[in-house]
Amino acid sequence: MKTCYFCQGEVVKKRIRHVHHWGDELVIFENVPSEVCTQCGEVYFSPEVLEMMDKATLGRTPPDKSVAVPVFSLP
């Protein structure tokens, strides 16, 4: 069993949606292979997955789709 670095909870393999802020842009990755702590929710990515996300973020891979995102500013 893998354990979380932060809380020593159990870490399980899971596919997730990951939201990434890149400058002023918001990038959403879907179906991302990851490992997630069942106790605190900490997410871990493999080096290969991080490389794929880097390539996509830097514009080397076209997105599957685009979505409009509303932005709210609170006083």
CA distance 2 to 4: 7
Q: Is the pLDDT of residue 23 over 90?
A: no
pTM, two decimals, is: 0.86
Short-list 32, 38, 37, CA closest to 20: 32
Per-residue pLDDT tens over the stretch 31-67 = 999 999 999 999 999 999 999 999 998 988 899 999 9
18-21 CB contacts, 8 Å cutoff, 24+ apart: 18/43, 18/53, 20/53, 20/57
Structural domains in the chain, CATH included, are: 2-57 (3.10.20.860)
Cβ atoms within 10 Å, residue 29: 18
pLDDT at res. 61? 85
Q: Is the pLDDT of residue 25 over 90?
A: no
Both tokens of residue 11? 């870490």
Greater model confidence, 21 or 16: 16
Greater model confidence, 25 or 64: 64
